[in-house]
Amino acid sequence: MKKILIVGAGGQIGSELVPHLRSIYGNSNVVAADISAEKCKALAEAGPFEELNALDGEGFSAIVKKYNIDTIFNLVALLSATGEKNPKLAWDINIGALTNSLYIAKDNNCAVFTPSSIGAFGNDTPKDKTPQDTLQRSNTTIYGVCKVTGELLSDYYFNRFGVDTRSVRFPGLISYVTLPGGGTTDYAVEIYYDAIRKGSFTCNVKEGTYMDMMYMPDALNAVVQLMEADPSKLKHRNSFNIASMSFEPEQIAAEIRKHIPDFKMDYQIDPVKQAIANSWPNSMDDTCAREEWGWAPKFDLTSMTNDMLIKVKEKFDKGLIK
> Average pLDDT, stretch 173-194?
87
Q: Can you tell me the mean pLDDT for 165-183? A: 87
- Strand, helix or coil at 141? coil
| pLDDT grade for 276, boundaries at 50, 70 and 90 | confident
- Domain-by-domain residue ranges, the chain? 4-171+214-241, 172-213+244-283+299-318
Residue 82 pLDDT class (50, 70, 90 cuts)? confident
User: Thinking of the domain 4-171+214-241, which architecture would CATH place it in?
Assistant: 3-Layer(aba) Sandwich (3.40)
Who's near 58: CB < 8 A, 6+ residues apart?
none
Q: Mean per-residue pLDDT for 145-161?
A: 96
Q: What is the band of 233 on the pLDDT scale with cuts at 50, 70, 90? A: very high
In eight-state DSSP terms, residue 109 is T
Segments of 184-270 assigned E as strands: 200-203, 211-215, 240-241, 245-247, 264-267
pLDDT at 250: 97
- The pLDDT value recorded for residue 165 is 98
Average pLDDT, the chain: 94
Is the pLDDT at 180 greater than 80? The verdict is: no
Q: How far apart are CA 216 and CA 173, in angstroms?
A: 6
Fold classification of 172-213+244-283+299-318 (topology level): UDP-galactose 4-epimerase; domain 1 (3.90.25)
Q: Is 176 a catalytic residue?
A: no
**26/37: higher pLDDT:** 26
Dist. CA 85–CA 174, nearest whole Å: 23
Per-residue pLDDT of 312-321, as tens digits, reads 999 999 988 8
What pLDDT, on the 0 to 100 scale, is given for residue 124? 87
- pLDDT value of residue 135: 87
Confidence of residue 140 (pLDDT cuts 50, 70, 90): confident
Q: Where would I find the beta strands (DSSP E) of 134-228?
A: 165-166, 168-170, 172-174, 200-203, 211-215
Residue-level pLDDT at 225? 97
5 pLDDT more than 90 = yes
Q: 47 and 32 in contact (C-beta within 8 Å)?
A: yes
Q: Looking at 25, 67, 103, 143, which residue is catalytic? A: 143
| pLDDT above 80 (res 138) | no
- Per-range mean pLDDT, top range of 33-37, 57-61, 81-85, 185-189: 57-61
Query: Which are the contacts of 89, defined by CB distance < 8 A and separation ≥ 6?
Result: 78, 83
Is 308 within 8 Å of 152 (Cβ atoms)?
no
